[in-house]
Structure 1
């Protein structure tokens, strides 16, 4: 095929693009560069991009100063004086550098935050996180020390009795120590003989116990530090994946993931107020709808009754606060663990209280491009975010002063990516406004108005913008043309200039098809898009093959080069051999808005499967295929649909090839599955309705299953369980091909070749009979 360019990076001066490329088919990719002045690519040093990109700075407000990290230490650069100063020189690593609004420097060392004054050179510790348990509450504080235990009733009685008996105890309790000149367990440090440093200040020790610390964030004035503590989960069962072909000759176990329904970690969010030296939690009980139950529990009256009676707050996880520039306001996101709600909240750092700014509720699950991510302040009063409130992911601003929520983009298309310009006056947007299968780059004022299109090439336009925002590196492709690098000035009407030519002579020697990009109405009245590869010379049987893309929420019907490039080429080969091929963006594919995205909620193998059947009906009516000679194939989610097609629609599909297929969703991972089907113990109806293993007795057509034995995504166990089910059912029209060294995505060319030979064979021997 040839090797397309990748990994685009701009030089700091915006004059040069660096990228990886291999036009000469060498053993590995080479480093290349191209100047925007010459447009001629040339090889360069491997580390040239890093050198030219310069140092990545964290700037102060007026950008006169910059912080950067090097070798685990913090450095300061003064741009006016062109002077570099080393601020730390320690064995420990310092990271997370930022400026406060008074130009003091914040950095993290270990688990703690420090504040360095550039005017006085004083370094002040802001937090005192301590690993382990609080002294006296169990667990040794020093390795090898005897374990401290929580005080008993007897201990408390003795302490009270001592206080009542002795005046010296009363006195020391008031002063908080044992007297002048002694440094005890709680007395801090000792300075000189018999005297303490009057300026010494202790910081509240925050004991982490066995919890994980994350999300350390400091307010712009340095007063408030927010953080999350997450308790480890010790009850989950981790799976293993046996690896049989090993250098040692012994079977070796690969540690695997957990399965859907296992216990999720839950974080608590806290605020440390440095002025008050006090800690308090970010409150969850004030969040609107925190007790709301999902609609699906109505299918389980007993569960509904029990959960209604308990009236518990749902478990949520907070994000890190996002402060406006002057530090007057912080916003924070909260995600419900059941993923039915996403809240954007205003945080009162003085109290830990929160108030609602925006709530996105979805009875299926929260999702869509940009939703819940990429929230940023435009100025001290406005921030922006994305929401599917209209059914499509669009861009919004929110004004905290007057409470105005303003929708900036609209229509039956998605904002797939939004970037705020450096001067914060313009949004740069990637979206599919023209057509679901075409992406373009646009600009839009932060105040709203007309959306101005910048790119013009029909197909896929993936943009990497130069630091000065004057140039675009465009990764562009079309249906039959793999990705290449183009350069264009960042303005409407500018010409995009092609820089690379990557395809091989062998690849170019074949006339690759531009499939028909069509749409049809499914049985529910929804528009469904598809690619059709008409047969060059139809076989007398007029057979057809349905290719089913993977991932579920993924788009493959578009005008750019497919990530399923092997399948694209295989589909061309099938069309050469008398088959008409259709590739459908079935319900739950990306690019088509919320209803399409969530159309499989609690019923995988429902609308996503009937869309394949309706696509076949369209092929029969418009392309003249024979409904008795239909096959289908696909990998991962596509393999799952292949199984469901043969099991649930045996009169439609005569043969199928299922690659790395999910056969039982109760054995897949939590992050993907629980969104769509909830948890198995809470919603067993959804799992039994959606898992092929429960329909295995309906198999009539011919099936070949193909699976890697070291698949850490869809485990080999999945296909083994279905195989045993076929054996017990007495089915004999199936076969299993295993690939001992392959993971979920195959790597070895010999494996790919063997796999597609078997897929081609089953179609040749069944659909052409």
Structure 2
């Protein structure tokens, strides 16, 4: 194409983009093209990132009613009223939502644009603490609120608001401590002594040098001790409340490991560009230590953990790989038979420390410590003077530690106002609940209990109440509660069915509520902090086109699994179901995620696709299989060492229920899902070929040995330690079982589940001479698709797959004969 022609085309594009779009007609019939459009353009954009002004007079949130390319900041009065867009000038003057408050909530210190600010909450005036080209971060109040601490360049500084004095508290340096110039070799020591004895000038100069060194050492006492890090990096610098200690975490990165590379073919440069992504499961991980700098003694220590209870306890699965108690005798002629050990040597597991967390009076501290295999979490008290730790609580899980308020880090922890009890969340009972432990006597108490999860917990500012979010009324609902600080009955505040995400006003009298229901996307509401109070809707985000369609409210049902467990699911049924009609089972992604609930799904496109399928006569089942969130520890860890086990049989049991109770033909059931859902779809098509006639596997893991460490190692352990778990959990080993029609879709620049995964499986299917499969690739898509064209192409293929294979004798494989696609 000549340049003049290209310029003409480019000149035309803006005019076309600015062309007026006529108002959308009511949505009377769903098609793939309609539902896969940019959601912000045709559904509306829900408010997010809800926050309050520090004086509690305004609510701020991200929103996009203008259908722009990105969200903007909006605000409304706490009492309601007009919503206005926040100007750039006003945004610059606003403090960040993150920061640290002093104990009386009169001041807040925060970072903004790499500088530190101190905000007076009464006057709402901010005072700049730093203005440098370097970035300052991690601001906090120190010395009982007398000082402000922050980090810069990997070191800790404090600033005194009264005097304006800034003091550097640490001097961390990369590399090794340089020598003092003195010889260490015996021969060199002899020569040096000889020189000093023979020559007066050498002896005098040596005495002068030693005098200078003594003076420099005396002057250096006024500055912090130089702490040499070697190749380690320093994190989480904290000054103890009495100013005596600086604690810090040391991180040692592993030696360079091979990084998986994802090639990007469609680029602005016209050349293939490589994206460096991550290592694979089993690669060495970062090692951590807790350092303590005793300022008064000018000495550093690294905390030890050898006495930590259970540190040498090996996971139960290792017994499957242990040598027999007595090895068979070697043949007498076999002189090279290696010695056998009846028992492997005891090894201490590596740990990762978090904290310390200091009591408000500054007299006590505790740490959260997690084992590197994630099977133990310890809460210990810490005495920095003696570097001693004492066990307060140990949670052991032969699968892996996780759950609401726990996660993979320190979890939700803190001190109660008596400066004597620590609070934390634990799955000790099988569900995540709130606990306290007394550091003086070790007495532990459960503040909440029952077959539900506490998903969020925070203390009121006066420390007299708990505010909790929990699914107490139903696993698929989330409500906001309050409870006395020492435990007691939960008082439910919110009442609208679905989910309420609550942000408390600073005076805790008003709730900003982000609320949604199954068929109603998230909107912002405001209500008094009183049980049964009426919530007032603030935003109206939905377009008239979206509201014109009667989006279904699916039934929440339970499936009795083969092992007796109750498995929750969403069920979509046609108004006039066809006898022995078709059905589709959807498998949500992420594994640990909940989708059979009563609020707007993060799988909104899939939800709309399910409505389209029901319009076409399909029954749709969406299962919260084993491994899903919201149902406690037993469900969360139900996939340990066997992904494709109970999580797959839950799908099979769901298919059985469809046939037995809902009139579905057992020969006309399809399955689909993305990411983890794609993995389950592959396992279903390969190992249950007589149950599922067609399947669409999207962005699927095909071999867990090629996925990342953080997710996979917890569930399947490391591949070189637990090869059994990987072999039985990876679809690539079962590909020979494929009978039905399989569609695979994958983004070529997927930096999460690499495109290599699906290429390896494709080669396996080719070598097995399988013909009933196809692979659709998307050159510009990562793991989560972005472009509407990609979504449309993918779901047209999925619909075609089901229409072709679940409707014998269909006149048009694309499905246009039954309403278009």
**Superposition TM-score, scaled by structure 1 size:** 0.91
Q: Tell me whether 757-766 or 49-58 shows the greater mean CA deviation.
A: 49-58
- Partner residue of 2:782? 743
CA contact (8 A) 1:10 1:53 kept: no
- Partner residue of 2:53? 11
Say which SS state the counterpart of residue 685 (structure 2) adopts: helix
Q: How far has the Cα of 1:188 moved from its partner?
A: 2.1
- Partner residue of 1:335? 370
1:352 aligns with 2:387: yes
For residues 193 and 575 of structure 2, what CA distance do their matches in structure 1 show?
95
Structure 2 alignment gaps of length 5 or more: 1-42, 326-339, 809-821
Structure 1 alignment gaps of length 5 or more: 138-147, 190-195
Q: How far has the Cα of 1:33 moved from its partner?
A: 2.1
CA contact (8 A) 2:142 2:240 kept: no
- Partner residue of 2:173? 130
CA contact (8 A) 1:542 1:626 kept: yes
Alignment of 1:84-95 (within 5 A): 92-95=134-137
1:376 aligns with 2:414: yes
1:576 aligns with 2:604: no
CA contact (8 A) 1:12 1:52 kept: no
- Partner residue of 1:103? 146
- Partner residue of 2:328? none
Per the alignment, do residues 587 and 273 of structure 1 end up closer, same or farther by CA in structure 2, a change over 3 Å counting? same
For residues 75 and 376 of structure 2, what CA distance do their matches in structure 1 show?
45
**Superposition TM-score, scaled by structure 2 size:** 0.85
For residues 453 and 679 of structure 1, what CA distance do their matches in structure 2 show?
43
1:276 aligns with 2:297: yes
Q: How far has the Cα of 1:211 moved from its partner?
A: 1.2
- Partner residue of 2:398? 363
- Partner residue of 2:667? 628
For residues 796 and 778 of structure 2, what CA distance do their matches in structure 1 show?
14
Alignment of 1:481-492 (within 5 A): 481-492=520-531
Say which SS state the counterpart of residue 581 (structure 2) adopts: coil
Q: 87, 110, 117: which one pairs with 1:45? A: 87
Q: 467, 470, 489: which one pairs with 1:431? A: 470
Say which SS state the counterpart of residue 664 (structure 2) adopts: coil
Q: 491, 501, 519: which one pairs with 2:558? A: 519
CA contact (8 A) 2:50 2:60 kept: yes
- Partner residue of 1:529? 568
Q: Tell me whether 157-166 or 243-252 shows the greater mean CA deviation.
A: 157-166
- Partner residue of 1:323? 358
Say which SS state the counterpart of residue 666 (structure 2) adopts: coil
Q: How far has the Cα of 1:672 moved from its partner?
A: 0.5
Say which SS state the counterpart of residue 345 (structure 1) adopts: strand
1:239 aligns with 2:260: yes
CA contact (8 A) 2:234 2:249 kept: yes
1:509 aligns with 2:548: yes
CA contact (8 A) 2:323 2:343 kept: no
Say which SS state the counterpart of residue 234 (structure 2) adopts: strand
CA contact (8 A) 1:539 1:768 kept: no
Per the alignment, do residues 19 and 124 of structure 1 end up closer, same or farther by CA in structure 2, a change over 3 Å counting? closer
For residues 130 and 63 of structure 2, what CA distance do their matches in structure 1 show?
39
For residues 170 and 491 of structure 1, what CA distance do their matches in structure 2 show?
85
Q: How far has the Cα of 1:582 moved from its partner?
A: 0.3
For residues 280 and 733 of structure 2, what CA distance do their matches in structure 1 show?
19
Q: How far has the Cα of 1:71 moved from its partner?
A: 6.5
CA contact (8 A) 2:142 2:149 kept: yes
Q: How far has the Cα of 1:535 moved from its partner?
A: 2.4
- Partner residue of 2:701? 662
- Partner residue of 2:222? 201
Alignment of 1:656-735 (within 5 A): 656-735=695-774
Q: How far has the Cα of 1:110 moved from its partner?
A: 2.1
For residues 415 and 18 of structure 1, what CA distance do their matches in structure 2 show?
27
CA contact (8 A) 1:539 1:577 kept: no
CA contact (8 A) 2:95 2:112 kept: no
- Partner residue of 2:35? none
CA contact (8 A) 2:80 2:538 kept: no
Q: How far has the Cα of 1:200 moved from its partner?
A: 5.5
For residues 520 and 802 of structure 2, what CA distance do their matches in structure 1 show?
28
- Partner residue of 2:640? 601
More relative contact order, 1 or 2 (CA 8 Å, 6+ apart): 2
Per the alignment, do residues 169 and 363 of structure 1 end up closer, same or farther by CA in structure 2, a change over 3 Å counting? farther
- Partner residue of 1:645? 684
For residues 638 and 189 of structure 2, what CA distance do their matches in structure 1 show?
61
Q: Tell me whether 217-226 or 100-109 shows the greater mean CA deviation.
A: 100-109
Alignment of 1:412-427 (within 5 A): 412-427=451-466
Per the alignment, do residues 69 and 438 of structure 1 end up closer, same or farther by CA in structure 2, a change over 3 Å counting? closer
1:188 aligns with 2:209: no
Per the alignment, do residues 95 and 6 of structure 1 end up closer, same or farther by CA in structure 2, a change over 3 Å counting? closer
Q: How far has the Cα of 1:326 moved from its partner?
A: 1.8
CA contact (8 A) 1:706 1:755 kept: yes
For residues 45 and 128 of structure 2, what CA distance do their matches in structure 1 show?
43
Alignment of 1:303-322 (within 5 A): 309-322=344-357
For residues 125 and 169 of structure 1, what CA distance do their matches in structure 2 show?
39
CA-to-aligned-CA distance 1:447-467 (integer Å, 9 cap, x gap): 111110000000011112212
Say which SS state the counterpart of residue 433 (structure 1) adopts: coil
Q: How far has the Cα of 1:82 moved from its partner?
A: 9.2
Alignment of 1:403-482 (within 5 A): 403-482=442-521
Q: How far has the Cα of 1:650 moved from its partner?
A: 0.7
Q: 612, 626, 629: which one pairs with 2:651? A: 612
- Partner residue of 2:24? none
Q: 220, 224, 231: which one pairs with 1:210? A: 231
- Partner residue of 1:226? 247
Per the alignment, do residues 732 and 425 of structure 1 end up closer, same or farther by CA in structure 2, a change over 3 Å counting? same
CA-to-aligned-CA distance 1:175-213 (integer Å, 9 cap, x gap): 9x8454x3x4x7528xxxxxx86x953543211112111
Say which SS state the counterpart of residue 674 (structure 1) adopts: helix
Say which SS state the counterpart of residue 237 (structure 1) adopts: coil
CA-to-aligned-CA distance 1:143-182 (integer Å, 9 cap, x gap): xxxxx99955655666788899999999999x9x8454x3
Give the RMSD, CA atoms, in angstroms: 3.0
1:289 aligns with 2:331: no
